[in-house]
Amino acid sequence: MPKGMQRENINLREKCEMLKKYDALPSCSQRSAAIKLGITQSTLSRLVRNREKTSEDSTSNINPKRKKYGMEKTLQ
């Protein structure tokens, strides 16, 4: 992270909006798309890579603060 740059937390709604804007952009590199969206290329790459998880979380009715992730999907 460049010196003097603050880390920003992006909430779920903002992630979904950024992915929609990214999809609406014409075909270009992630770097130029990230500049147009006002985020870093690594952030855009992470959003695209985790697109399925983001869409799952946005449609679920569970409070994200209480959601637990573990190795096992089902408990015995």
CA distances from 16 to 1, 13, 21, 42 (A): 24, 5, 9, 16
What does the pLDDT look like over 34-56, one tens digit per residue? 999 999 999 999 999 998 888 87
The model scores a pTM over 0.85: no
Helix axis angle for 51-59 and 12-24, nearest 10°, is 130
H-state helical runs in the chain: 12-24, 30-37, 41-49, 51-59
Could you state, in order of their start, the residue ranges of all structural domains in the chain? 12-58
Q: What is the CB-side half-sphere exposure of residue 49 using CA atoms within 13 A?
A: 7
- pLDDT reported for residue 56: 79
* Residue 24 main-chain phi, psi, to 5 deg: -80, -20
